[in-house]
């Protein structure tokens, strides 16, 4: 049985096996970050218009009729959100493949052919993720809507956070189980999921995931330091071009860092499953 | 026995000056945050070599290959250290909260007792933490072994608490003496330069600036890495004394 460290080290090295494919995968992330930057800018415009109307009419935000908001901006935001969602489905499809390659212990990175199949697996991935997060989201929303007392509200927040964490830990093994058997049903086969986890040992299971998350956190903090240096450099040379700078930084981050992190994390998830069925 | 450890560690760290310079360069880039973990990872490798070696054996210095593995080892080391230091920190916080809620003489008395207990706990935590790292290295880097407190306590019992504490005190003294002596020598040389410069009528500030620069460069590139390898090696060898 390989130790925790071996899994993580293997996962960290794996993306370097085929840098071209990693960068192709990174293009998707770069698109997502550019789109979310645009959405941010446009929603800023909508918000500013709403505030302007509020100041004119002395009303509250909920009283503004929809027709008074800038329609073009809203259409752009809605369109971009849909495009972003489709791209993230594609990303989930690739993540599905990464976990599959990891379970099969293949050294290469998955290729880019057969986009429709990727969409199908992406939809599966999304459904399972949503299903596992449903209970905590329900608790959170119902709690926010029903409870008006301020003393119970923090308690509900804590409970839903705990539920989110528990759901997250189960979700990883559920996704692995689904991908290994290639059937959506297996994602909700709780006895098998719990059996797998206890086969590996709960302590080791939680330990691997926590350790992986800590490593990811450290890397992203370090990278954000470096990126902020780059931002300062850009800002010093290119005057008054905040939009350009943020787009460039978003592309760099999506192309290299987000893709690397995602491949790394999914590789480790796959190797957790591989260890657990031994 | 302890003197043998020091002798071996002092010789061991001076084996290869290239390693020292490479470590120094990594240390120079540690403002980028990732290299910090490379340094701790390298120290872990030194401990690993020492734990599996013998005193006055001809162990080579660890290589600088497999940087990713080194980084992950470094992260492990930092997690273990934080885990151990969390205990005295939490105890201190508990005392601080209790003494903040009561007033008068009892409050300050409680705070003093709390500080003393925290101080003792910090010393114990440092001891256990170093031994925990060695224990982890001895068991192929298994995380659970770093926090197997009873096993580590048995190890320390076998080595002897007095030996351990004496070694640590000695380490601190040697570290301080070496760094002080090096700084004193450099400043001595530059004071001589400065004096001769002043006699010749040159500007003194440039010479002092150069002295400070060279001092920090030597501290970073030679003395700092040397002392860190020295400490790691000594602690690793101390662990092997249990047999």
| Segment A9-46, tens digit of pLDDT | 888 888 888 888 888 889 989 999 889 888 888 888 88
What pLDDT is attached to residue A240?
A: 67
Residue A198: other Cβ atoms inside 10 A:
11
User: In Å, what is the CA distance from B58 to each residue of B42, B50, B184?
Assistant: 19, 10, 33
Question: Which of B44, B48, B76, B139 to mutate against chain A (most A CBs within 10 Å)?
Answer: B76
Helix axis angle for A190-200 and A153-181, nearest 10°, is: 90
B149 and B83 Cβ atoms separated by less than 8 Å: no
User: Torsion angle, CA of B208/B214/B220/B221, rounded to 10 degrees?
Assistant: 180
Residue A190 CA neighbour count, 13 Å, CB half: 3
Q: Is the pLDDT of residue A242 over 70?
A: yes
The DSSP symbol for A187 reads G
Helix axis angle for A259-276 and A190-200, nearest 10°, is: 90
- Assign B17 to helix, strand or coil: helix
Pairwise CA distance, residues B120 & B128, whole Å: 12
Q: Mark yes or no for CB contact B79/A226 under 8 Å.
A: no
Q: How confident is the model at residue A62 (pLDDT cuts 50, 70, 90)?
A: low
Chain B residue with Cα closest to A14 = B68
Q: What is the mean pLDDT of chain A?
A: 85
Pairwise CA distance, residues B119 & B124, whole Å: 9
What pLDDT is attached to residue B143?
A: 80
- Of B183, B177, B172, nearest in space to B234 by CA: B172
The DSSP symbol for B31 reads G
Residue B72: other Cβ atoms inside 10 A:
25
Pairwise CA distance, residues A102 & A100, whole Å: 5
Q: Mark yes or no for CB contact B79/A214 under 8 Å.
A: yes
Choose from A138-152, A163-177, A239-253, B181-195 the range with maximum mean pLDDT: A163-177
What pLDDT is attached to residue B243?
A: 61
User: Residues of B33-61 as b/e, b for ≥16 C-beta within 10 angstroms?
Assistant: bbbbbbbbbbbbbbbbbbbebeeeeebeb
What pLDDT is attached to residue A266?
A: 92
Q: Mark yes or no for CB contact A214/B69 under 8 Å.
A: no
The DSSP symbol for B241 reads T
Percentage of chain A surpassing pLDDT 90? 18
Find the mean pLDDT for residues A161-176. Answer: 91
B127 and B171 Cβ atoms separated by less than 8 Å: no
Pairwise CA distance, residues A36 & A188, whole Å: 32
Chain B residue with Cα closest to A214 = B75
Pairwise CA distance, residues B207 & B103, whole Å: 56
Percentage of chain A surpassing pLDDT 70? 94
Q: How confident is the model at residue A148 (pLDDT cuts 50, 70, 90)?
A: low
What pLDDT is attached to residue B104?
A: 77
What pLDDT is attached to residue A2?
A: 63
Pairwise CA distance, residues B7 & B162, whole Å: 19
Pairwise CA distance, residues B133 & B142, whole Å: 10
The gap from C-alpha A1 to its chain's centroid, in whole angstroms, comes to 30
Q: What is the CA radius of gyration of chain A?
A: 22
In this prediction, the residues of chain B whose per-residue pLDDT falls under 70 are 202, 243
Pairwise CA distance, residues B184 & A152, whole Å: 63
Pairwise CA distance, residues A217 & A223, whole Å: 10
What pLDDT is attached to residue B97?
A: 87
Pairwise CA distance, residues A172 & A276, whole Å: 13
Q: Is A272 exposed, middle or buried (0-12, 13-18, 19+ CB in 10 A)?
A: buried
- Of B40, B39, B51, B42, nearest in space to B77 by CA: B40
Q: With a CB-CB cutoff of 8 Å, which residues 187-206 of chain A face chain B? A: 203
| Minimal C-alpha gap between B54 and chain A (Å) | 26
Question: Which of B65, B72, B76 to mutate against chain A (most A CBs within 10 Å)?
Answer: B72
């Amino acid at each position: 049985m390989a130790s925790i460290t071996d899994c993580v080290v293997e996962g960290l090295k794996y993306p370097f096996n085929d840098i071209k494919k990693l960068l192709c995968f990174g293009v998707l992330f770069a698109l997502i970050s550019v789109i979310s930057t645009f959405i941010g800018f446009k929603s800023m415009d909508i918000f500013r218009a709403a505030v302007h109307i509020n100041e004119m009419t002395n009303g509250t935000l909920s009283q503004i009729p929809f027709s008074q908001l800038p329609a073009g901006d809203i259409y752009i935001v809605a369109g971009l959100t849909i495009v972003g969602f489709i791209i993230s489905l594609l990303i989930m499809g690739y993540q599905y493949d990464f976990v599959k390659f990891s379970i099969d212990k293949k050294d290469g990175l998955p290729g880019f052919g057969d986009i429709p199949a990727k969409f199908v697996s992406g939809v599966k991935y999304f459904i399972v993720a949503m299903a596992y997060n449903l209970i905590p989201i329900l608790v959170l929303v119902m709690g926010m809507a029903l409870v008006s007392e301020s003393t119970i509200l923090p308690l509900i927040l804590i409970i839903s956070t705990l539920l989110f964490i528990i759901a997250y830990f189960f979700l990883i093994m559920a996704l692995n189980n689904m991908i290994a058997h290639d059937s959506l049903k297996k994602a909700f086969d709780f006895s098998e999921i719990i059996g797998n986890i206890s086969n590996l040992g709960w302590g080791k299971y939680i330990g691997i995931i926590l350790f992986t998350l800590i490593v990811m956190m450290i890397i992203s903090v370090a990278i954000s330091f470096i990126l902020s240096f780059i931002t300062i450099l850009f800002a010093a040379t290119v005057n008054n071009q905040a939009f350009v700078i943020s787009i460039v930084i978003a592309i760099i981050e999506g192309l290299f860092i987000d893709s690397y992190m995602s491949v790394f994390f999914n590789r480790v998830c796959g190797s957790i499953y591989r260890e657990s069925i031994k | 026995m302890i003197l043998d450890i020091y002798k071996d560690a002092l010789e061991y760290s001076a084996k290869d000056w290239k390693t020292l310079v490479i470590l120094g360069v990594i240390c120079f880039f540690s403002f980028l945050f990732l290299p910090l973990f490379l340094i701790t990872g390298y120290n872990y490798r030194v401990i690993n070599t020492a734990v599996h070696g013998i005193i006055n054996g001809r162990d080579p210095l660890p290589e600088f290959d497999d940087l990713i593995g080194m980084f992950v080892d470094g992260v492990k080391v930092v997690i273990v250290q934080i885990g151990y230091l969390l205990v005295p920190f939490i105890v201190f916080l508990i005392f601080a909260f209790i003494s903040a809620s009561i007033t008068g003489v009892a409050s300050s008395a409680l705070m003093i007792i709390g500080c003393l207990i925290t101080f003792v706990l910090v010393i114990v935590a440092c001891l256990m933490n170093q031994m925990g790292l060695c224990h982890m290295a001895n068991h192929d880097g298994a995380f659970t072994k770093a926090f197997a407190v009873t096993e580590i306590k048995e190890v320390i019992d076998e080595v002897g608490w007095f030996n351990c504490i004496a070694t640590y005190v000695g380490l601190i003294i040697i570290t301080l003496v070496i760094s002080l002596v090096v700084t004193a020598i450099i400043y001595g040389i530059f004071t001589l330069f400065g004096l001769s410069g002043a006699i010749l009528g040159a500007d003194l500030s440039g010479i002092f600036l150069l002295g400070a620069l060279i001092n920090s460069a030597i501290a970073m590139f030679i003395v700092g890495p040397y002392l860190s390898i020295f400490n790691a090696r000594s602690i690793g060898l101390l662990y092997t004394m249990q047999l």
